[in-house]
Structure 1
Amino acid sequence: MGLLDLLLFFCGRRRVMQVKGYSMWPTLKPKDRVIVRPLNQQTELPAIGSIIVCIHPQQPSLRVIKRLSSVADNQITILGDCPDASTDSRQWGSISQSCLIGEVVALASTPLKQGS
Structure 2
Amino acid sequence: MIRQAAVAAAAAAAVLTGWLVWLRRRHLVVTVRGPSMAPTYRHGDRVLVRRRRGGRLRTGQVVVVDLPEGIRPLPEGVGPEEAVIHRRVIKRVAAVAGEPAPFPVEGAEPVVPPGCLALLGDNPDGSGDSRQYGYVPADAVVGVALRLLRR
Secondary structure of 2:147's aligned partner? strand
TM-score (norm 1): 0.79
C-alpha separation in 1, matches of 2:20 and 2:52:
14
State the shift of 1:47 in Å. Answer: 2.0
8 A contact 2:53–2:140 mirrored in 1: no
- Tell me whether 1:27 sits opposite 2:57 in the alignment: no
1:54 to 65, 83, 86: 65
Question: Which stretches of structure 1, 4 residues or longer, exceed 3 Å deviation after superposition?
Answer: 7-10
- Tell me whether 1:95 sits opposite 2:136 in the alignment: yes
Equivalent position of 2:94 in the other structure: 69
C-alpha separation in 2, matches of 1:25 and 1:10:
31
TM-score (norm 2): 0.62
Unaligned runs of 5+ in 2: 1-18, 73-82, 98-113
**1:53 is matched by which residue type in structure 2?**
V
**1:36 is matched by which residue type in structure 2?**
V
**1:66 is matched by which residue type in structure 2?**
K
Equivalent position of 1:4 in the other structure: none
Greater C-alpha Rg: 2
C-alpha separation in 2, matches of 1:9 and 1:50:
26
State the shift of 1:109 in Å. Answer: 0.6
C-alpha separation in 2, matches of 1:105 and 1:46:
13
C-alpha separation in 2, matches of 1:9 and 1:78:
31
**Aligned residue pair count:** 102
C-alpha separation in 1, matches of 2:121 and 2:20:
27
Q: Which has the higher strand share?
A: 1
Equivalent position of 1:114 in the other structure: none
8 A contact 1:9–1:15 mirrored in 2: no
**2:51 is matched by which residue type in structure 1?**
P
Aligned CA-pair RMSD: 2.0
Pair 1:77–1:10, CA change in 2 (3 A)? same
CA displacement 1:5-63 (0-9 Å, x = unmatched)? xx78972121100000000011100000000000136xx42321011000123256120
